[in-house]
Structure 1
Amino acid sequence: MKKLLATIAIAAMACTTTIAHAQATDPKTELAKKVVALQQGPELDRLVNQLAGVTAQELIAKWGPKMEATVPKAKQQKASEDLNAELKKYTDDAGQLIGKQVNKVSTESLVPVYAERFTLEELQQLAAFFESPAIKKYQATAPELGNLFVQKLVEASRPEVVARIKQFDDAAVKIVGTSPAPGAAKPPAKK
């Protein structure tokens, strides 16, 4: 009986090793890994920086008003500089922490989806596409082009948006008023 159990255990381990080896060398999965890796370029770096920036904005929203409410006006400039230095360190660290997760998350979530939804031939075509010099040039140029587009879009829409802000402010004054109610907290002073 013990020999039978030992034989079954050895056979099960051999099957597990064979299955794991077959999964690791599956050409479709390997090609899916390649396609996912080829897609990661400057745009992904920009996304990581944006995610880190979003978390930094949350800290600014939390600590800006606290600083203005608790730090004497005479010391606010220095406190603001110190907070900005800490914020820069935080943003750099958060970007690195998020960046470290890119490969893991890509492997765990994107690779299986690519392997499931694309045929081997389609994955080969995608890999060839992402390896092409034109796409590499596009990926290198895309952040600059994106920034240029956003800058021009902001410039083009600014007059209408500013006019709409004024409409909102006018409506808000009618709703909220301009004088603080007795006992109401004062809004933080503007810089």
Structure 2
Amino acid sequence: MKKLIATLTLATLACSTAVYAQATDNKNEWAAKVVALQQGPELDRLVNQLAGGSAQELIAKWGPRLQANVAKDAQAKTSETLNAELQKYGNDASSLISKQVAKVSADTLVPAYAERFTLEELKQIAAFFESPAIKKYQAASPELGNAFVQKLIEASRSDIQARAREFDVVAEKLIGTKPAAATPPKAAPPAKK
């Protein structure tokens, strides 16, 4: 009898472990589905923003060098060539970042969603993202976002320009408008005898 109970207990434990593993896998599958469904035009915009941010670092680094190291008469052509290379860089950076989206999503978002949401909640979230209204919203979102940004820029342009002029006045007082005169090298002190 004890052997039968032990066997039944082991069988029950094995069965519940299998059910738990299946539920976990099912939950992870639903979490992966939610992650995939939410990655629409907004993700593309994020990827482009990240790539653009890295391009801005290059512009900040090489813009002053262009001005300082390239003769004035060659700056326009060099700038044009540099801009073409910068465009290639931006495309490559977007592609490189995009290639990491699936891996980072699987490694980070899927486990986080599976941990924070029940299976039923994940199914509800997936249904939300699959609804026609949300699909339409996601499709329209970039255009609506761009329209909002354009109107915001237009509405704040004069105030920002006025504030920039105030900054220019202060910066001019601090820095001046003329290049600093080169300081002659200090003469070496006389040698002691």
Aligned equivalent of 2:139:
140
TM-score, normalised with respect to structure 1? 0.81
* Cα deviation code 1:94-123 (max 9, x no counterpart): 110000000000010001110011111110
Give the distance between the partners of 2:115 and 2:139, measured in 1 at CA: 29
* Cα deviation code 1:154-175 (max 9, x no counterpart): 1001111111111111222222
Aligned equivalent of 1:8:
none
Give the distance between the partners of 1:172 and 1:70, measured in 2 at CA: 25
RMSD, aligned α-carbons: 2.1
Gaps of 5+ in 1: 1-14, 185-191
Give the distance between the partners of 1:24 and 1:78, measured in 2 at CA: 62
Aligned equivalent of 1:40:
39
One-letter amino acid of the counterpart of residue 121, structure 2:
E
One-letter amino acid of the counterpart of residue 101, structure 2:
V
Cα displacement (A) at 1:67: 1.4
Give the distance between the partners of 2:93 and 2:179, measured in 1 at CA: 39
Aligned equivalent of 2:61:
62
Aligned equivalent of 1:110:
109
Aligned equivalent of 1:173:
172
Give the distance between the partners of 2:46 and 2:37, measured in 1 at CA: 16
Cα displacement (A) at 1:75: 1.4
Identify if the C-alpha distance between structure 1 residues 23 and 50 changes in structure 2 by more than 3 Å, giving closer, same or farther: farther
Matched, 1:50 2:71: no
Cα displacement (A) at 1:23: 6.9
User: Which of structures 1 and 2 has the bigger CA Rg?
Assistant: 2
Aligned equivalent of 2:73:
74
Percent identity between the two aligned chains: 69
Cα displacement (A) at 1:177: 2.7
Q: What are the within-5 Å matches in structure 2 for residues 1-16 of structure 1?
A: none
Give the distance between the partners of 2:82 and 2:22, measured in 1 at CA: 50
TM-score, normalised with respect to structure 2? 0.80
Aligned residue-pair number? 167
